[in-house]
Each structure stands twice: as structure tokens, then as C-alpha cells.
Chain A
Amino acid sequence: MDIFLQQIINGLVQGSIYALVALGYTMVYGIMGLINFAHGEVVMIGTLVSITVTSTLAAAGVPLGLAGLGGLIAAMLVCMALGWSLERIAYRPLRGSPRLTPLITAIGMSIVLQNLAMIIWGRNYLTFPPLLPKVNFEFAGAHFTLVQVAIVLLSAAMMGGLVFLVYRTKLGMAMRATAQNPAVASLLGVNTNRVIAAAFVVGSALAAVAGVMVGSYYEIAHYQMGFMLGLKAFTAAVLGGIGNLAGAMAGGVLLGIIEALGAGYIGDFTGGFLGSHYQDIFAFVVLIIVLMFKPSGLFGEKTGDRA
């Protein structure tokens, strides 16, 4: 039982990170119907920038907590600029071109960002400075750390903020209008270009926060870390029904928990035939099963017949 609880906690932490990244995918998809394949790399850039800034500040004598905050803010700023430029360079010029064209530019940008990161930060694994004191909590036999608590709380706060932004502000209303019908929205005075850019910027800010979380959770970072994370987060977004904010959050948390439980119990299920290195399979197997029965995700609206 305590293993069960422990895996639920681990899954919840991992899931909140997935959810934050998934929100970036789903916002862009909801508004423009585009998979932003380079989003995972934005997370990676966020982690690496925050490492550099935090360790520079810490080396200059700034207290670690403050240095971490500086790192977070720097990462958010860099990623927001990056998200904005991605949209300008790789996506905006291609609006109205065949559906797969932006997919290839996204892949191109993803390759560019990865290699740029490798040139700047090198091939080696970087260690993330411990931002929070290592405090352990125990609850009903399951252990968790302060970092884990902080990740769950911070991501809940970010998601709350995003929901507020989308459903209670003028920009959010413009976003929803553009998502429904860009042409009509622009007829009604919405600057759709600005709204789309805003979606990229907000999504990238969330990605930066997720990047700092991943860094401080695993205490390690690498120029290739964005790829698998982005893939899982995208899976989470599709699982929940892509284009749907609540779906992305639920999908992220669900995916994290399924993975953690799967990794914890697969040996028992299969009598030791399959081990925990099959962890990565769960995400995809669950996705395939869900989509077989609900072809547009758990919370997705029915998509049109033209893909």
C-alpha cells in the first residue's frame, strides 16, 4: 500500500510537470491547429538558462533562494523571447501553406535549438544547484521532499493563473475567439497575429517554469532532455483532448501517475517477464487504448471530418 501511495505521489509530481508543458502544446494547437514540435526544446533552454544564471548569481554571493528566483525569471524571459521568435520565423510565414509544412519547420527549429544548446552549454550533463533545502516529509509510509511539494503547488498556481488569463481577461477572450474562427475574430477587431504570438509567449513562459522544475527535481540537465519530455507532454495533451486546457492538465497528471504506477507494478503484473525499463511504453499504450475508444481524447470535442 505504501508503495502505491509513493508511486501516486511521484506520478503527481512528474504529472504536474507534464501538464505545464502540455498546456503550451494545447494552447498553440487550440488556436492554430499546429503541433509546435519545438516546444520541448524551449523547456530545455529554460532549464539550461536557469542553471547558468542561478550558478552565476550564487557564485557572486547572492543567497541561493534569491539566485534561484533570478534564474527562474531569466529563464522565463529568454523562453518568452524564444517562443515569440519561433512563431515569427518558423510559423507565421507559413500560415495557409499545406498542413505538414509547419511540422517540418518545427522539426528544423527543434534541431537548430538542440544544437545551439550543445554549442553554448556543451555535451556534458550539467548539475542543477539545489534551490530548496532537502527536507523530507512522511505521510502514511510514503516519503516526499520539499522540492516535490513546491513543484505541485507552483504548477497548480500557474495553471490557475492560466485559466484566469484565458477565461477572465480580454486577451483570453480574444484567444478563445481566434481559436473558434480566426477570420471572424479579426473582423470583430481582434488582432489575431498578436493573439497567436501571445499564445506562444505564454506557453513558453509555462515551459520555462516547467524547465526549472525538471532541473531542480532531477538535479541534472542536458541538451537532449527536451525531446522525450516534449513527447510525453504532447502525448498528455492528446490524451486529454488536444486544444482543451482542462484536458491538458488532466492528461498530464494522469500520464504521470499511470507511468509511475506502471513502472512500480509491471514486474508483478507480468510475473517478472517485463521490467521497469518498459516504463516509457505505458504512456503510449494507454494513449492508443484511450484513442481507440475516444478518438478525440478524454475531454476533447469531436473534431471535424477534415483532418
Chain B
Amino acid sequence: MKNWLSPRSTAGIALITIALVALPFVVGMGGQAWVRILNFAILYVFLALGLNIVVGFAGLLDLGYIAFYAVGAYTWALLASPHFGLHFPIWAILPIGALMACVFGVLLGSPTLKLRGDYLAIVTLGFGEIVRIFLNNLNSPVNITNGPQGITLIDPVTIGSFKFAGTSQIFGFAVSGPQKYYFLLVALAILVIIINLRLQHSRIGRAWQAIREDEIAAKAVGINTRNIKLLAFAMGASFGGIAGGIFSAMQGFVSPESFSLIESIMVLAMVVLGGMGHIPGVILGAVLLTFLPEVLRYAVVPVQMSLFGKVLVDPESLRMLVFGLALVLVMRFKPAGLWPAPERSREQTQKACVAVTQTTAEAVK
């Protein structure tokens, strides 16, 4: 910890702080839409870090992660909107949302403890779809989720008398709603990142990594693999739940459409593309993959105009096409992710000899 306070580190922290404070105002000059995208990038950082616990640390492939985001979002929506006439304060809803997501995490985790690899992947995928289908259809005979229309007029975040929605004057500056949410999100994100960093090298974090590398060996050295795996699901889920709650308050609206399978896949892509199990990499992946489609949205039309003189191809599909190609190319040239953990990249180089020894061992068997 002492190194942290060296002059260089202090200067670094100061610079990062200034950059983080200035960012929403700089981005805001390009329009509030960009600040919203920035906020979404931070939300995706939450999600990617949560999924990273399950996939990156514990090595359990989860393709239904967005279900926990949905649980968090709907918990907030139901407890703070005119739909049921409930208006709980944030201090009550956020923990309830995290707890609900946690319960769902254990609910998903417990029947799947025996499953391995791709079997686990498909079951989690199915679980995610089941949650979405229920959200879509639980409007009759008892209207709980309001079906495909979703829930509107959700309360924004208020802390004390401070409202996060709408523009207000702070120290003589006009600060817009998205900019205020940005600071809330950054504060939460820093908390989440610290929790993750501390977790990674804790006893639990090392147990997760042991399970990831070899479950039987982990069991043999006395790790309670069942509880530790459930804990990974529960912790990952609760991060998703918190992100979902903030999402729903920020948007003021939730519908099942936001929680489709492709969202789970996107979060997974962020984790893998950034560098699985490596916290800075995961953050990078989340930020990049949030901004890339948005930047492309603005780029495809002018680029086509300058190349062909007219818009030849539907911009929406072209931008997704480029996005898909980018995913393929990054993985093609950086198979371990853009910013992998140091030990991971070492493994990459050792892979060849390991593969040879493994196949020989199998052949001997």
C-alpha cells in the first residue's frame, strides 16, 4: 500500500481524478446523448465485472447473465413506480435488488453445480430466456410486469432532497441529469472495482481460480467447491442486480426487450475481448464495445458519402456488420483478449508444449 503514496502514484491518481471529473463536461459538448452513452459504458463496466467473477475468476461459462440485470431492473421498477403505487427510497431498493438477483443467482447455480463447460452454458442461456419470457407474459391473469409494454414512469434516483433527474445548478454550473448520474455511476464503479480487486487476491478469489484451473484438485486441497461456486454465481448476480436497478431509474422505463439473449452475449464479448479474468482488461472491453457501435453509427453515413457519393447500404446494418467483423478480427489477432492478465499471456506461449504433453498423456491412457 505504501507504493500508492509515492509522488508518481499521487500524480497519477490526481490526473485520473481530474480526467474523470472533466469527462462528462467534455463529452457533453458533443451533446447529452454522448453523456448517456458514457453512462451506459459505466453500467456495462458493472455488468462485465460481475460476469467476470463468474466466467473470468471461477471459469463458469454463463450465457444468461442478463437475467440478473433484468431482476435488478424490475425490482427497482416495481418498488419505485406508479405501477404498484410503491415509492421506496434508494437505500431500500438497491439492497433489495441486489438480494433478489443474489437469490436468482443461487437459484440458477444450485441445479447446475454438476454441469461442466458447454452444458452449463446452454442451461444458463435457457435460464436467461425463461426469465425474459416470464417478464414478457406476466401481465395476465395477474398484472405483475405489465408484459411487453414494460413499466413506465419509474422514479429517478433521489438521495435526500437531491434529485438526479433534470438539470440543476451546482456551484453556479448547469449540470444536466445524465451528468449527475455519471458521477453517481463513477462513484459506484470505483467501489465495485475496489471490491473486485480485493476479491481477486482474497482467499475466495484464489479458491475461484483454483476451481477454474482444476476443480478436482481444488476439491482435494479442501475447497468447498459447491459453496464457492454458488458464491461466484451469487456475487456476480448481485453486481448485475445493482446495475439493473440504476439502469431502470436512469431510463425511467423498463421492458423485457432490453434483456434479450444478445445482451448477455454482448457482456460476455466484453469480458472475453477485454481479457478474461483481468480487471483492467474487462473494463477496457466494456468501454470499447459500448462506444464502438455508437461511433460507427455516426461514422457510416459520412464515410459512405465520401466513398460513393451517396448512401449505398443501410447504415444500421452496415454498422453492425463492421462491429461483428471487429469482434472476429480482434479475437483473430489477440486470442487472449486486448489486455490479458500477465499470467494468461504467458500461458499462451506455453500452450504449444502443454498441448503436446497432454495429447501424449491421453494417448498413453
Residues of chain A whose beta carbon lies under 8 Å from any beta carbon of chain B: 29, 35, 89-90, 93-94, 96-105, 107-112, 114-116, 118-119, 123, 181-184, 231, 234-235, 238, 242, 272-275, 277-278, 280-281, 283-285, 287-288, 291-292, 295-297, 303, 305-307
Contact = CB atoms under 8 A, between A and B. Distances in A.
A280 B363 contact: no
B116 A307 contact: yes
Contacts of B336: 97-98, 101
B323 A111 contact: yes
A100 B126 contact: no
B327 A278 contact: no
B280 interface: no
Nearest to A112: B324
Contacts of A297: 119
Given A107-B327, A284-B130, A231 B318 contact: no
B321 A116 contact: yes
A283 B123 CA distance: 11
A105 B121 CA distance: 16
B263 interface: no
Contact of A112 (B122, B215, B328, B351): B328
Contacts of B126: 235, 283-285, 287-288
B321 A275 contact: no
A295 B314 contact: no
B277 to A, nearest CB: 10
- Contact residues of A: prevailing secondary structure: helix
B324 A305 contact: no
Contacts of A234: 122
A94 B331 contact: yes
B123 A288 contact: yes
A95 B166 CA distance: 52
Interface centre among B55, B111, B137, B328, by most A CB within 10 Å? B328
Interface of B: 55, 59, 61, 111-112, 114-123, 125-127, 129-130, 133-134, 136-137, 140-141, 214-216, 261, 265, 268-269, 272-273, 276, 313-314, 317-318, 320-321, 323-328, 331-332, 335-336, 344, 348, 351-352, 355-356, 359, 362-363
B327 A111 contact: yes
B133 A280 contact: yes
Contacts of B362: 181
Contacts of B272: 100-101, 103-104
A105 B331 contact: yes
B117 A104 contact: no
A235 B125 CA distance: 10
A231 B261 contact: yes
Interface centre among B314, B318, B324, by most A CB within 10 Å? B324
Nearest to B122: A238
B80 to A, nearest CB: 28
A252 to B, nearest CB: 14
B363 A181 contact: yes
B91 to A, nearest CB: 35
Contacts of A231: 125, 129, 261
B359 A183 contact: yes
B137 to A, nearest CB: 5
B130 A104 contact: no
A281 B136 CA distance: 12
A299 B324 CA distance: 35
Contacts of A272: 141
Contacts of A181: 359, 362-363
Given A109-B328, A291-B123, A307-B116, A278 B133 contact: yes
A35 B61 CA distance: 12
A283 B126 CA distance: 8
20 contacts: A94-B335, A96-B352, A97-B331, A100-B276, A107-B265, A108-B326, A114-B320, A115-B318, A118-B314, A183-B359, A238-B119, A272-B141, A273-B141, A281-B130, A284-B126, A288-B123, A295-B116, A296-B119, A305-B116, A305-B216
